[in-house]
Chain A
Amino acid sequence: MALLDIQNLHLSIGGAEILRDINLSVEAGKIVAIVGESGSGKSMTSSAVMGLLPDGTKTSGKIWFADEDLSEKSEAEMCQVRANSLGMVFQEPMTALNPVETIGAQVIEAIKLSEPKLSWAEIRERAAQTLHRVGLDGERFPLTTYPHKLSGGQRQRVVIAIAISQKPKLLIADEPTTALDVTTQEKILALLRKLVDRDNMGMLLISHNLAVVGDVADHIIIMKDGEIVERGDVPELFGSLEHEYSKALFAAAASKGATSKFIADSAGYILEVNNLSKDYKIAGGKTLKAVNDVSFKIKNGENVGLVGESGCGKSTLSRCILGLEEISKGEVLLRGKTFKGERELRSHINVVFQDPYGSFNPRHTVGRIVAEPFYLMKGKLTKKQESEKIVSLLTQVGLSEGDVDKYPHEFSGGQRQRIAIARALITEPDLIVLDEATSALDVLIRQEILDLLEKLSERHGISYLFISHDLATVRDITDRLLVMKDGVIVEEGTTANIYARPQHPYTKALLAASPDITKVMKNNKENPNETQL
C-alpha cells in the first residue's frame, strides 16, 4: 500500500463545498504535485492530511497514512503523528518562524517532540546537522541566529530543517517557493528533491505553477474548483493532456518564443534616463545605492522590460521615473524635457501596480477611480466628454458601462487590473509603467491581461516599461530587455537576442532558473529526475 492514500475525500466549510471526491496516493521516495489556481482546494487537501483544518470544517472519506486512517484519529494522536511522521513547509517564509526565538531553538524543539529520549547533546548535534543538510552551515549560521537575520530563502531552509529534523515519512510543501526569487526557487526545489531521494520520503508538493513543479515532480495532479481534472506521470502527462483547463495551463506555462519588433532610431525617444542614481541612508550612517548610475532610453512605441530579483532596485528606479522619489544624481527626460514630478508632464506617463487589491481607494466608485488622472488636464474636457471617455475605455479593457457605479471590491483580481489599466490610459499617455502588473494574478488570467496589454499597445501606440521579477512574463510582450542587479543594469539588448545569447552570468543564471515547461520536457528526455544542488 502507498505511504499516503486519500480515498473519496470530501470537504466543506459552513455548507460550501471545497473538495469533491479527491483520490490520490503518494509513494515513498516520490514527489506528487498538486497544481491549481488559488481557490482550487489544493491547500485544503494538504491541511486535511495534516489535520490542521479551520474550525467548522466537515470532512468525509479516508486518509490512509502508513496503514492508519488519519481521519479517525483524535487531536492528541494527530499531534503525535505530526511530530513523528509528517513534516510541513509553508508558503511564506518571512512569517513562518517565531521572530523572538533562535533558529536553533526552533529546530531543537521539533527534534525533542519527535524523539524525547535523546540527550541534550544529541539533540543539539542533530539540530546542527539538519541545518547543515539544508545548506545553512554552522560557521555562518550558528544555532543562536535569529530569523530576522536571514533572507527569505534562508528562512525557508530553516522551515525545511524543522520539518525534516523529525525524520518524517511524508513531507508536505505548500507553495514553498512562491514567495522566493527565481534563482532561490530553483535551489530550494533541488534541495527538496535531494532530501526526498536520500531519505526516501514521500512528498506532496502544492503549487499554482505547472512549470515550477514540472521539473521536480514524479506525478502531477491538476485541480480545479475542488476537483481533480487531470493526473499523470511526468513527462508523459504533458503529451496527453485532455482537460480544457490543463491544456490552457500548459499553454500558459510554455513560452511562445520571443519576437522583437524593430523600431527605427528616428522614431524619437519618449523616455531618457541619464546616469540616474538613488541613495538611501540606512542604519549605521551608511548609504545604500539602490540605483547606481543607470542610463537607458525608450523609443516611441517600444516595449521595454526591466527584469531583476527583489531588492535589485527596479522598483526604486520606477518610482524615480514616475517622479515619486527625489533623484540623488542624474536626470529623467520625458519627451525631451526634464521630469521631476512636474504636473504639466505627468499626463505623458502613468502606471499600473502589482496589487489588484491595494490599487484602488475602497471608498471610491470605478468611475471616480478611472477619472482620477483627469485632474492633470483640468478643464480641458467637459463632464460629458469625461464620462464618455470613461465608458469607452472601460469597454476597451473588457468591462461594461454598468461597472461605472460599482466599487472595487465587487471585482475579481483580473478585472481590477483591467480597471487599473483603464485608469492609466485615460489621459492618453505615451508611456505606461507596469510595475509587476501581472505578478499577483493566476496563470490564465495573467495571460489574458498580457494579451489585452499587447492589443492596447498596438491600438494606441503606447510604450510600456514592464517591470518584473519573472523573465517568462516579459518575454512575449517586450521588444527590448534590461537586466538589473544590485542597482546596476548588467545587460541590455533585444528580447530575442538576450533569450538566445545571454552574455552576463547573472542573466544566464536567471534564464536557467526561470521555470519553463518546454525545458522540462527536454530535460526529462535526456536524464530523468536528475538535479544537482
Chain B
Amino acid sequence: MGRFLLKRFLSLVITLLVATVIIFIMIEIVPGDPAAYMMGLSGSTEATEALRAELGLNMEPWQRYFSWVSGMITGDFGISYTYRIPVSELIIERTLVSVPLTVYALILSTLIAVPVGVISASLRGRFADTALMGIAQVGVAVPNFWFAILLVLLFSTSLGLFSAGGFPGWDAEFFECLKALTLPAISLALPQAAILSRVMRSSVLEVMNEDYIRTARAKGLSKRQALLRHGLRNAMIPVLTILGLQFSFLLAGGIIIESIFSLPGLGRLVFQSIAQRDLIVVQSIVTLLVFAVVMITFIVDLLYAWVDPRLREGG
C-alpha cells in the first residue's frame, strides 16, 4: 500500500510540473503585451516600461517561470493585470461557485445513474430496460449547453419556476443559492448521468456472469440478493473511473454553462481574462484545474484500493 501510494504521488508531482511548463509556454506564445494592454492607448512608453518592471515582465522567461511556480506553492498566484488584486482572491471567490456547482451536478448524476443502471441490468431485455437505455442513448447525444438553453426556456420563461441566471452570493439564503445552482447543475448532470448509467448497466451485467455470483447462488441467495451483496461492490470498480473522469469534465465543462446562466464562476473568469489578456489569471486557473484533475485521479486510485483488497497490497 505504501509503495503504491508513493508511486502514484511521485507521478502526480511530475505530471503537475510538466503541466505547468506546458501552460507557461502556451501563455508565452500569446501575442500582445499585457502591460501595453493595461495602460491603454494613452500610456506613455516610460509608464508602460515601469509597469512591465512592476509586473516582472522584463525578467527572463525562465526566471518568471520559477517565480510563478514558487509563488504558487506558497499560495501567491500574483496580481491580476486587470483587476489589480491578488489572483488568489479572485480565484477563491469564483471557486466557491464552481466547485459547489460541480459537486451538485456529480451528486445528481450519481443518484440518477446508479439506480437506473442497476434496474436496467436486472430487467435486461424487458421493456423498462429498453426504454431506459433508449433515453440514456439520447441523453448521451445532448450537448449540455443546448440542454441548458431548453431548460431556461421551459422553467424560467414558460413556468417561471427558476430565474434565468445570476447568483445571489453565499451571504444570501442557502436555499436561494441552491435554487440558483439547480438548473445549471441539472443541465450538467443529465447528459453525464446518461453515460454513467450505461457504464453501470454493462458493469453489473458483466459481474452477474462471474463465477462468484454462481457460488453465492449455490449458497441459497436469490438472484437479487446475490447482485446486491456480491455484485454491486465489484461492479462499482469501473464506475469509479468514470466518476473520476466526470468530476474533472464537469469542473471544466462548467465554463460554458456558467456563462449561459451568468454565474460568477471560474469559467466566466477564464473567458473574461482571455478577452482582456489577463494572462496571469488564465495561467493560474488552468493550472489549478489541472491540479484538481490530477488530485481526483489520485483520490480515485485510493478509492480503488478501498474497494478492491487486491490493490491494497503489492504492485
Contact = CB atoms under 8 A, between A and B. Distances in A.
B8 interface: no
Interface in A281-320: 283-284
B309 A100 contact: yes
Given A100-B307, A100-B309, A83 B234 contact: no
Contacts of B233: 100
8 closest A-B pairs by beta carbon, nearest first, are A83-B220, A88-B218, A95-B211, A82-B220, A98-B212, A146-B309, A110-B219, A113-B220
A52 B218 contact: yes
Contact of A82 (B3, B217, B230): B217
A154 to B, nearest CB: 15
A82 B229 CA distance: 17
Given A98-B230, A100-B234, A86 B212 contact: no
B31 interface: no
17 contacts: A52-B218, A75-B222, A79-B221, A82-B219, A83-B219, A86-B218, A92-B211, A95-B212, A96-B212, A96-B214, A96-B215, A99-B234, A109-B216, A109-B219, A113-B220, A146-B310, A148-B309
B28 interface: no
Interface residues of B, number: 23
Interface of B: 3, 210-212, 214-222, 229-230, 233-234, 307-310, 314-315
A84 B308 contact: no
Interface residues of A, number: 35
A518 to B, nearest CB: 35
B220 A98 contact: no
Interface stretch (A159-167, A220-228, A388-396, A440-448): A159-167
A499 to B, nearest CB: 37
A530 to B, nearest CB: 30
A52 B234 contact: no
Contacts of A81: 220
A88 B218 CA distance: 6
A76 interface: yes
Given A90-B215, A99-B212, A148 B220 contact: no
Given A79-B222, A92-B211, A109-B229, A99 B216 contact: no
A284 B315 CA distance: 8
Contacts of B214: 52, 90, 96
Nearest to A52: B217
A95 B210 contact: yes
Contacts of B218: 50, 52, 82, 86-88, 90, 163
Contacts of B219: 82-83, 109-110, 113, 162, 166
A101 B215 CA distance: 13
A96 B217 CA distance: 11
Contact of A162 (B210, B215, B230, B307): B215
B246 to A, nearest CB: 23
A531 interface: no
Contacts of A166: 219-220
A99 B309 contact: yes
Contacts of B230: 98, 101
